[in-house]
A and B are shown apart, each in its own frame.
Chain A
């Protein structure tokens, strides 16, 4: 209370006291002046520390906000992991033809920003003679027809590492690995420092440089809090194995759209799963093995 006493007796009002009082007053004024939603958003906790009630409240607020913004009935799920699941992904590089259909299916499913488009999946064209060689890979190929003679295609997206450098580098704990093995981001907790992007050796994380622009017609209203709900300017995002789909037992969007069936997905803990069959019977490789990131995204030769 000494601040107020000092203000009331002007001869004792020092510069420091005045500044303190101004700061407190303006902060209080701003807090009172802003809307209830903004206040709740500002005070929102990290998703992992939220109680069930808090999650329900946040979800309701987000659903209302998105529904109002995009004119479509949004559902934001916070569905938990299915017990006894640990997801793995496999991609057949001998089959992939580089048609980029996965890139666009991902974009539609996961509400990435448009203009310029954000691509979670990046398809690299490589020369067969050189093998997997990132130095000479071409991300921007634009041919009349694919596959091109003498080339193969290597789609790269989040490798869902078991030892993820991005998670270790996050200073605020806004990204973590879920029990079913998906590295997720709490977009509300992310401060946009981009340390994780610097740490990721696969270039799999993407930053929202501007306001997120979504086409209200094409927006996917079926979302998950940790997955494809619309993001913010200044938030980092990445592939989540389509968490909104896989936690309901469905395949990720890229798996279902692939015209050559090069993409495979399943539960690593289930010995009868497709993914286990691949690991046990095919020639499998992981990218940048020497970094000890231990990806759960495997590349294999189907032939």
Chain B
């Protein structure tokens, strides 16, 4: 009975995703020489620039190694490689293959199975973090550079939040101002 329930939930959510996802993030992209990609996002088809995704050095393309490996969908502790990745992102319910595509290692995939390029990973994040994606698209969530009345440069979610452990890391603050009494 339990499995039956899950199946239905999964099917309905997949259907909803399939129906609404293309409406939510219709986007086009072109690349320039620096690897920055031009995206048109949102209802107003606003033009934004996105830098390339923050891959760990010399590790992409994933298929470089994974192409010759057997697909093991078993949830397990990684010991031979990627042991530096500590999943702290709803780790009880998530596993690598929820976001990474098992068949096409160089792509991500949405809950509905639709392949997503690393350059557009915000589409993947936005499945769960809908309000954040909406704010990000409107320019409210995340850092903006560029021009307030023209072309803006956005960052991908993964530039600030490690997708495997997304909580923003603490940092050392810059020194405080001097107290008036200590100024000579």
Contact = CB atoms under 8 A, between A and B. Distances in A.
Interface of A: 82, 85, 92, 97-101, 103-104, 116-117, 119, 122, 139-147, 246, 249-251, 255-256, 258-261, 264-267, 270, 272-274, 277-278, 281-282, 302
Closest 10 CB pairs of A and B: A261-B143, A100-B174, A274-B139, A145-B170, A261-B142, A249-B147, A140-B176, A146-B173, A116-B183, A277-B138
B178 interface: yes
Interface of B is mostly: loop
Given A141-B176, A249-B150, 20 more contacts: A97-B171, A98-B173, A99-B174, A103-B174, A103-B177, A116-B177, A145-B173, A146-B172, A147-B170, A251-B144, A251-B147, A256-B145, A259-B143, A260-B168, A261-B141, A261-B143, A264-B140, A266-B148, A274-B140, A302-B135
A147 B168 CA distance: 10
A277 B143 CA distance: 16
Contact of B145 (A117, A146, A251, A267): A251
A264 B139 contact: yes
A258 B140 CA distance: 13
A119 B44 contact: no
A139 B147 contact: no
Interface in B46-90: none
Interface string B156-184: 00001000000010111111111100010
B49 to A, nearest CB: 14
Contacts of A278: 140
A32 B53 CA distance: 66
A260 B160 contact: yes
Given A261-B142, A274-B140, A277-B138, A249 B149 contact: yes
Contacts of B130: none
Residue in B139, B145, B176, B179 whose Cβ sees the most chain A Cβ within 10 Å: B176
Contact of A145 (B142, B171, B179): B171
Contacts of A146: 170-173
Contact of B140 (A85, A99, A101, A282): A282
B72 to A, nearest CB: 37
Contacts of B35: none
A258 B174 CA distance: 13
A104 B172 CA distance: 14
24 contacts: A97-B170, A99-B173, A104-B174, A116-B177, A119-B177, A122-B177, A139-B176, A140-B177, A143-B173, A144-B172, A145-B171, A145-B172, A147-B170, A249-B150, A250-B148, A251-B144, A251-B146, A255-B144, A256-B145, A264-B139, A265-B148, A266-B148, A274-B144, A281-B138
B148 A142 contact: no
Residue in B142, B144, B148, B178 whose Cβ sees the most chain A Cβ within 10 Å: B148
Given A260-B160, A274-B138, A117 B177 contact: yes
Given A141-B173, A260-B168, A267 B140 contact: no
Residue in B145, B146, B149 whose Cβ sees the most chain A Cβ within 10 Å: B149
Residue in B138, B139, B171, B173 whose Cβ sees the most chain A Cβ within 10 Å: B173
Contacts of B173: 98-100, 141-143, 145-146
Nearest to A142: B176
Contacts of A260: 143, 160, 168
A258 B149 contact: no
Nearest to A282: B140
A258 B44 CA distance: 26
A242 to B, nearest CB: 11
Contact of A261 (B144, B147, B148, B176): B144
Interface string B129-140: 000000100111
A260 B140 CA distance: 11
A203 B147 CA distance: 29
A80 B177 CA distance: 33
Interface in B15-34: none
A87 B25 CA distance: 30
B38 to A, nearest CB: 19
Given A97-B168, A122-B177, A142-B176, A267 B149 contact: yes
B175 A251 contact: no
A249 B149 CA distance: 6
Nearest to B183: A116
A259 B148 contact: no
A1 to B, nearest CB: 55
B11 to A, nearest CB: 32
